[in-house]
Amino acid sequence: MLHHQIVDWQESTSASFAAAKTQAEFLDVLKNAALDVGFEYCALGLLFPLPFTKPQMFMMNNYSAAWRQRYVDGDYLRVDPTVAHARTSSKPVIWSDSVFATAPAMWDDARDHKLHVGWAQPTHDKKGVAGLFTLARGGGPISAGELRGNVIRMTWLAQAAHEVLAQLVDSRPNAAPQVDLTEREREVLRWTADGKTSGEIGDILNVAERTVNFHVNNAMAKLGTSNKTATVLRAAMLRLL
């Protein structure tokens, strides 16, 4: 596909995503985009970093109801090798016998449900949300030529879908509020993360210790934490530093 055709497709798909106001509308756009690059099925899972004790997971896909239920019944999220891959890599992975060597029962079940071919791309964003985007179909292996022709669109779609769905989830009434730290608050927290005391940070930044504590307290209030350690940890998890 020529460069200008890819750009036109990206712009058209972006406009469709922008017009999607609900998760159902988002999934419709995603399904059509998946078909454009040669796949019947698409799936996107997002893992939000908060709360620490039980990070929130959100998943959307157009798999068959039978496969969705089998995935739950088989506890496949726990053993899914593509999910494990996404925890440690940013590179895409193509389904294969070797990829599913650690989960042969899941691989057999997937093929029994007409899921023979798949491509999975880990995704991340600046808010600390991790994701996994998957394109799948019933047959026809992904050839080297197909991958060369479509990988730009596939990779772009993975990140675009991540950002759109994360925004839709964040816009829910019970979603965690947006946190914005000032540059000085971030600077103070970065020095705190390096083990510096308020007095030492004051000397480094040439400000009074009480000024350092003022910025720390402001960050604590914004992040809903009760001490400096928790504040630094939460800010780091949210990629605010």
In the chain the domains, ranked by start, together with CATH numbers, are 3-170 (3.30.450.80), 183-237 (1.10.10.10)
Chain CA centroid to CA 200, Å: 37
pLDDT value of residue 173 = 44
pLDDT value of residue 171 = 61
Q: Residue 178 carries which DSSP code?
A: P
Q: Residue 139 carries which DSSP code?
A: S
- Phi first, then psi: give them for residue 39, nearest 5 degrees: -130, 140
Q: Is the peptide bond before 51 cis (omega within 30 degrees of 0)?
A: yes
- Mean pLDDT, the chain cut into blocks of 10 residues (241 residues total): 90 96 95 98 93 85 98 97 97 98 98 98 92 97 96 97 91 61 93 93 94 92 87 84 84
pLDDT value of residue 56 = 87
